[in-house]
Every structure is written in structure tokens, then in C-alpha cells.
Amino acid sequence: VSPLACTSPLPIDQLVDYELGELPAAAEEAFEAHLFECDACARRLDAVVSLGQRIRRLGQEGQATVAVSEDVLARAAAAGARVRQYRLEPGASVACTAGPDDTYVAIRLAVPLDDVLGVDLEVAFHDLDTGERHSRRVEDVPVDAGAHEVVLLFPGDVVRAYPRSRWTIEARARRRDAGVSLGPYVLDHTPWERLPR
């Protein structure tokens, strides 16, 4: 097979399923036989794997904010996932952590307004041990209209890796008529193993 071209390229769906280990055994065997004969498809799979690694890295660095609905949290809990939740009203602060068995940590920011189209967040991070600070802006975060909340979901592994730190979130709720500033919401994170016993 020429290293330059492929006459029957593996579909992107199969590349993704292979990386995630979700191809049926027979399909996986055929996939690998093609992969080892085809440099072009190996390069494409490399790009898919690289994209997955980038997504994981974003999550580990806390750079990707993920908003879900309250319904997702309820279903996750019903399915056996341990979801540690913190709910904050605007202007409130909370001490938080992630336990060793927590599957997810959900941060629920109350948005006590009607007709909100979306929320822009300014998230400031302060490492309380090293003094390091950085911030980032997250635009157009969806609001769970029924619960009047922004629900941010983080995997437990991600939160467990955070240092002792303060997260200050300023929100700007967008409505048809005007924007409304909310916050700050303050999270004081302490790693589980450093909590006073």
C-alpha cells in the first residue's frame, strides 16, 4: 500500500470508536489489519488521538467549562455515580473539596432571573500556596432555565488534582433587554487530604 494515499480510508466514526475501545472485536481486528498497512489512516488516527488528548488536557487544566442540566446530575446519581454538589447564590462563598470516591463535582451557580439567554463568566483562579493567579472568560454558558442555575460539571479526578485555591466567578447574565451582573461566587478549594480531621 502506498504510504501517500489510501483507496479505502477508515471512516472517522471507526477511528473514534477504536481509540475509545468501542469497536466490536471482529471489526477491531479488521481495523488493525488496515491500520498496519496504511500510513495515511495511521496519521488520521493519530490526529483523532491527539484531539482526545487535547480535550483531556483542557479538562485537567480546568480550561474547559462544561455546563449541564440538573437533569444530567440526577441521572448520573441514579446510575450510581457519586456527585458532590455545591450550590451558591450570587455573593456567596463556599468551602469545597473532592472526596476520594466522588465521580463528579457539580458547581451550581444560582441565576435568580427570568428570560436569561445565556451567561458569560469571568473565572479567576488563585493558588493559595504559590500565589499564582490566572483568569479566563467563558462566554455564552447555557442556563438551566427550570432550575435558574448554571450547573458546571467537573470529573472528580480533575478536582482532586487542584491545589488549595480560591476560585472567584463573576457572571454577566444576558437578557433580551439588558445584561445583569451577578456574583461574585467564591469557591475555596482544599484538597481532601489537607482537610482538618
Site residues (vs other proteins, CB under 8 A): 1-4, 12-13, 15-22, 32-33, 35-37, 39, 42-59, 61, 63-69, 72, 75-76, 79, 81, 103-104, 138-142, 153-155, 157-158
- Minimum gap (Å) between residue 50 Cβ and other proteins: 6
Query: How many other CB atoms are found less than 10 A from the CB of residue 18?
Result: 19
- Minimum gap (Å) between residue 100 Cβ and other proteins: 16
Q: Is the peptide bond before 196 cis (omega within 30 degrees of 0)?
A: no
- Minimum gap (Å) between residue 141 Cβ and other proteins: 8
Nearer to other proteins, 43 or 194 (CB): 43
Q: Distance (Å, rounded) from C-alpha 194 to C-alpha 172?
A: 33
Nearer to other proteins, 32 or 115 (CB): 32
Count the helix, strand and coil residues of the chain and give each as a percent rounded to the nearest 5: 30, 35, 35
Nearer to other proteins, 42 or 113 (CB): 42
Nearer to other proteins, 4 or 177 (CB): 4
> What is the per-residue DSSP string for 142-182?
--BTTTTEEEEEEEHHHHHT--SEEEEEEEEEEESS-EEEE
